[in-house]
Amino acid sequence: MAFVHYTVKKIVHGLGAIKEAANEVKNLKGSKAFIVTDPGLAKIGVQKPLEEALTAGGIEWKLYAEAQLEPSMDSIQHCTDEAKAFGADVIIGFGGGSALDTTKAASVLLSNEGPIDKYFGINLVPNPSLPCILIPTTSGTGSEMTNISVLADTKNGGKKGVVSEYMYADTVILDAELTFGLPPRVTAMTGVDAFVHAMESFCGIAATPITDALNLQAMKLVGANIRQAYANGKNAAGSQQARSQPKQGADFMGKQKSPQARMARTVPVRQLYGVHLRKRPEGQQPEPADHEQHGLAMSFCAPFSVGFNYIANPEKYAIVADILRGDDRSGCMSVMDRAADVEDAFRDLLNDLDIATGLSNYGVKREDLPACADRAFAAKRLLNNNPRAASRDQILALLEANFEA
């Protein structure tokens, strides 16, 4: 079977890599950098090392700290207008998936006529985007490695994606030191998010030999280090190594770019995310803790999802279970027995990370479950790559069985 593998043009990787930011702007023939981040990160100053590196390298910069947690068409236009007014010749995304998606979409409008909804779909962008550098600050999303920006469609409702080969970053800077100041809970959530993304793609129908290799390494790095990264904090001996490994795992996960595999999910009950998890009053700016929410949803949905899926691909779920257990048990257990352990192995990991399971722990009401099942079943692009076919009634049964699990 033929497959195509894409990735970004350049990756600068390693502890302290943020110090190369000015050189990377210059490599793109830039001198005025427009930094896009969100209010929560700016409030605690996570972007300061980037600002210092740019200043030291003689790069003029402006901070735009208004990226929304759920980027909208209007927010993309506002970001674009501010970048144009500054005269930016390079745009830098700094933060989690929302800030990076905002940056990619704005880079399109800085070289193409808007509005952004003209480009909802695949490969509709006619001209190359403004030179773009992406710098993630969490381990989970992998957005820095993708050519898609997911936005809220304020005209028609729901979310839409702009997908274009022009949206790959020119440079990605991966510096695990940027994660050292994260609260342990956020480290746990985003680390599990990275593991789940890699697992989904590894076990999904659209997996390829290239994505398998990258995802396997991602799961091994995260699985072997996430407990220590969560428990020790940034000051403990060996913590920098432990924290950098989950970040490297996320980087491996993000590099795999079979589009279908990248979108793979387990049973996509993550539709709960953004509906029932802690919602802010309208107009209230996101706090740093808001960055955990996607990872939280992926975490508490993962055990029962893999428990449903493993019989459809036991060979791969056996490998996942062994990674979670930290032990290659292929010589002493059957494939099916190892695969059957994957749900319990995941629950044990979440217990060590103090992440509760059970939907009722997160504000979900029992009467909401049918609507959640409807939304999950409607997510066909996700279900179509799930290793096991799932009906709406099966999804509802999973939700009900795990309401108080």
Q: Model confidence over 127-167: pLDDT tens digits? A: 999 999 999 988 777 889 889 998 988 787 777 889 999 99
pLDDT of residue 242: 52
Architecture of domain 11-178: 3-Layer(aba) Sandwich (3.40)
* 115 prior amide bond cis, ω within 30: yes
User: What's the average model confidence in pLDDT over 226-249?
Assistant: 61
| Mean pLDDT, residues 80-93 | 98
73, amino acid identity: M
Q: What are 165-181's pLDDT values in tens digits?
A: 999 999 999 998 888 77
Q: Does domain 183-275+291-401 have CATH number 3.40.50.720?
A: no
pLDDT top residue among 292 and 400: 400
Mean model confidence pLDDT for the chain: 84
d(CA 308, CA 302): 10
Q: How confident is the model over 347-368, as a mean pLDDT?
A: 90
Please give the structure tokens belonging to residue 85.
Answer: 């007014």
Q: Higher model confidence: residue 301 or residue 293?
A: 301
DSSP letters for 136-177: E-SSS--GGG-SEEEEE-TTTSSEEEEE-GGGS-SEEEE-GG
CA of 20: how far to CAs of 25, 57, 240, in Å?
9, 9, 20
Query: Does the pLDDT of residue 287 top 70, yes or no?
Result: no
Instruction: Give the residue extent of every domain in the chain.
Output: 11-178, 183-275+291-401
pTM, two decimal places: 0.78
Q: What's residue 180's pLDDT? A: 79
What per-residue confidence (pLDDT) applies to 183?
A: 81
CB-based contact 298:270 (threshold 8 Å) = yes
Return the pLDDT at 382.
Answer: 76
29: left (phi over 0), alpha (psi -120 to 50) or beta: left
| pLDDT at 281 (0 to 100) | 40
What is the pLDDT, as a whole number, of residue 284? Answer: 43
